[in-house]
Amino acid sequence: MFRALLASLLLATPALANDGFGGLSATGLTFAQTDAIAMEREDLFIGLDRIRVAYTFRNLTAQDVTGEVIFPLPPISLQFLMSSDFNMGADRDNIVGFTATVAGQPVTPRIDRIAVIEPPYDENRPAAEHYDTPGRDVTAALARHGIPLSLDTAEIATLLLALPPEAQAELKSEGMADFYEGDPAQGFPPEAWPLWSVVIRYHWTQTFPANATLDVVHDYENHPPGGIFGWQHPPVDDWAQDYAARYCIDDGTSRAIAKRLAPTDGYGIAYTLAYVLRTANSWAGPIGDFRLTLDKGAPENVISLCIDGIEKTGATTFEMRAKDFTPDRDLDILIVTPTGP
C-alpha cells in the first residue's frame, strides 16, 4: 500500500504584517516515493481566486496500486485568526470548496480535522514542512476538555474561559492556551487565547489500475496572503531588494510596478502566492508533459516570478510548457494591483 498525499495550501503571512492579511497558498498531488506510478501529464492553473490541477498518472507495474489520497490544508493558527485579518471566508466543513474527479467521475472525500502546536516561527523554514510536519498533535487533549476543532475563535475563547481553573492551568502548562485576568473595572474583560492550529484534511481511497493511465483533477478556492504594498524604481530598501530577488523582479518589471502604482502615490495591494512544485519529484521519473498557466486577474495588475520559458498568452494569462520536467524549485509569485484613487 502506498500513501498518497494531496498536500496543499501552506499558511503564509505578508511581509508587512501590520498592513496585511494572512492567507493560504498551495501545492499539488504527491505520492510516497515510488517507482510504480509515473506522472505523464500535469496541467496546473493558478489564479488569484482558484487553483486547478489536472493529472494523468500511469501505473508502470502489472499490479493494482491502492492507497489513501490526502489533501491537507496547512495549519491554520487560531491565534493568528484572532489578531489579524485573514483572506478566508467563514468556517465551513469544505472550507476551500475542494472538488475532485477521477476518470471523469466526481469523488466525495471524507473531511476530518486535527489540532497541532506548530514549531516556533522560522522565516527560512521550507514551505513543504508546513504540511509534512505541521506540529505536535493535541487533538486528544482538546477533546478531553470538550473543545471542538472549530475556527470560530470567539466560540473557542468563550469555552476556554468557562473551563475550571485546574483545566485552564493544564492547558497553559502544555502551551495550548494563554489566559489573562483583565481589569473589568477599567473595561478590560478576562481573555483566553488558543495557541493551537487546525489542520483540515480531505481524503479518499484510490486504486491506480495495473498497466493503465488514470486522470485525476482537483480544484479549490485560492486564498493567498497579501497586504498594502509600496514600490519605487529602482528598489533601494532592503525588503524591496529581498522581494526583487525572491520574485525575480527585473528592471522592466520594476518599472512596470512603479508606473502602475504612480497614480496612487506608489502604493497598491500585493498578493504573494506560493506553490510547492517539488512534490512532483516523489513520482517515478520526471513529469512527461508539464503546463503551467498563470492568471494575474486584471490587465492592469503586474506579475513576477522566477521560472524559465514563460510567455504571455492573453491580456491576463501567461504559460510555460516543458517536457520531461523535474522541478528544482518551488513557485513564489507576486501579483501587484493598484488600489484606485
Distance CA 82, CA 78 (A): 6
Q: Which of 124, 330, 127 has the alpha carbon at shortest distance from 242? A: 124
Question: Which pLDDT does position 31 carry in this prediction?
Answer: 53
Domains in the chain, ordered, with CATH? 2-138+196-338 (2.60.40.3680)
Question: Which pLDDT does position 8 carry in this prediction?
Answer: 30
- Is-contact 321 312, C-beta < 8 A? no
Question: Which pLDDT does position 126 carry in this prediction?
Answer: 72
Q: Residue 11 pLDDT > 70, yes or no?
A: no
Question: Which pLDDT does position 282 carry in this prediction?
Answer: 67
Question: Which pLDDT does position 6 carry in this prediction?
Answer: 31
What type of residue sits at position 58? Answer: R
Confidence band (pLDDT; 50, 70, 90) for 16? very low
What type of residue sits at position 336? Answer: V
Question: Which pLDDT does position 329 carry in this prediction?
Answer: 84
C-alpha distances out from residue 256 to 138, 183, 203, 260, Å: 47, 52, 43, 6
Question: Which pLDDT does position 191 carry in this prediction?
Answer: 95
Question: Which pLDDT does position 311 carry in this prediction?
Answer: 96
The conformation of residue 241, written as its DSSP 8-state character, comes to H
- Is-contact 207 64, C-beta < 8 A? yes
Rg (CA), the chain: 22
- Own/partner pairs for 297-300, CB < 8 Å, 24+ apart? 297/47, 297/48, 297/49, 297/335, 297/337, 298/337, 300/260, 300/337, 300/338
Q: pLDDT per residue over 127-149, tens digit each? A: 777 777 889 999 999 999 999 99
Question: Which pLDDT does position 14 carry in this prediction?
Answer: 32
Q: pLDDT per residue over 104-117, tens digit each? A: 999 999 898 999 99
Q: pLDDT per residue over 218-260, tens digit each? A: 999 999 999 999 999 999 889 999 999 999 999 999 999 999 9
Question: Which pLDDT does position 18 carry in this prediction?
Answer: 33
Confidence band (pLDDT; 50, 70, 90) for 10? very low
Question: Which pLDDT does position 138 carry in this prediction?
Answer: 97
Q: pLDDT per residue over 179-220, tens digit each? A: 998 887 788 899 999 999 999 888 888 899 999 999 999 999
Q: Residue 289 pLDDT > 60, yes or no?
A: yes
Q: Residue 42 pLDDT > 80, yes or no?
A: yes
Q: Share the mean pLDDT of the chain.
A: 86
Backbone angles phi, psi at 79, to 5 degrees: -65, -40
Distance CA 16, CA 227 (A): 7
Confidence band (pLDDT; 50, 70, 90) for 64? very high
The secondary element (H helix, E strand) that includes residue 244 is helix 238-246
pLDDT greater at residue 303 or residue 39: 303
Listed in sequence order, the residues at least 6 apart from 216 whose beta carbon sits closer than 8 Å to its beta carbon are 29, 54, 55, 57, 100, 101, 102, 206
Residue carrying the nine cell digits 493568528: 80
Question: Which pLDDT does position 229 carry in this prediction?
Answer: 94
Q: pLDDT per residue over 69-103, tens digit each? A: 878 788 899 999 998 888 887 788 899 999 999 99
Confidence band (pLDDT; 50, 70, 90) for 9? very low
